[in-house]
Amino acid sequence: MDNIIQVKSLNYQSGDQSILKNINLEIARDSYTTFIGPSGSGKSTLMRIIADMITATSGQVIFNGKDLHEYEPTAYRQKVSYAFQQPTLFGKTVKDNLEFPYLVRNQEFDRAKVADYLEMVNLNESYIDKSVNDVSGGEKQRIALLRNLIFPPEVLITDEVTTGLDVENKSIVRHLIDKFNQEYNVTVLRVTHDDTEIAAASHTVTIENGEVKDV
């Protein structure tokens, strides 16, 4: 099996508290893995280490056969993208956010493509010019996810991105993530406490007290 990510003997300590203990894990390319376990068990910490947002105390994350620290950080984050539970839109307009992936790649903003992406999440082209103050919480999460996906990454990490959303917005967000996994071959790592998402998951990894308990 072709593994896109390998986690080897990984530990993370904060002060004298051991958050992650000897994590060993393999993530298959194009897979959709759901991470479950009690709050405070270390799931989000592990995701942030894989996303190169924080550094493990010891051990290794290997991405496409290379240690993640061998990659230039900006280039790595274009390949491994992290979607937060509480999305933040910056600047003044939605365009400021959806133009950003183009700017970091020195590419010209493609309004037609962005309009097509907005349609994927039941938003129309007029949203491009909307003030970030005029979009709802659910719309904000959809726009933030599109910012992650305008240029599809190799890996998308979603950390409880449907928490607090209503039924309609949860459905739209889940459908978008499924679409990119199935049609664009984006490998998905999902952290969730949502019973519906857990019941529908094809592959789960349980983390308890900083250790992998069930794969």
Distance CA 179, CA 112 (A): 20
Give this prediction's pTM. Answer: 0.95
Domain that holds residue 72: 3-214
C-beta of residue 87 within 8 angstroms of C-beta of residue 121: no
Is the C-alpha dihedral spanning 99, 86, 56, 81 positive or negative? negative
- CATH code, 159: 3.40.50.300
Q: Give 73-130 pLDDT, tens digit per residue.
A: 999 999 999 999 888 999 999 999 999 999 999 999 999 999 999 999 999 999 999 9
Number of domains in the chain: 1
- Whether residue 214 is predicted with pLDDT greater than 80 in this model: the reply is no
The whole-number pLDDT of residue 110 equals 98
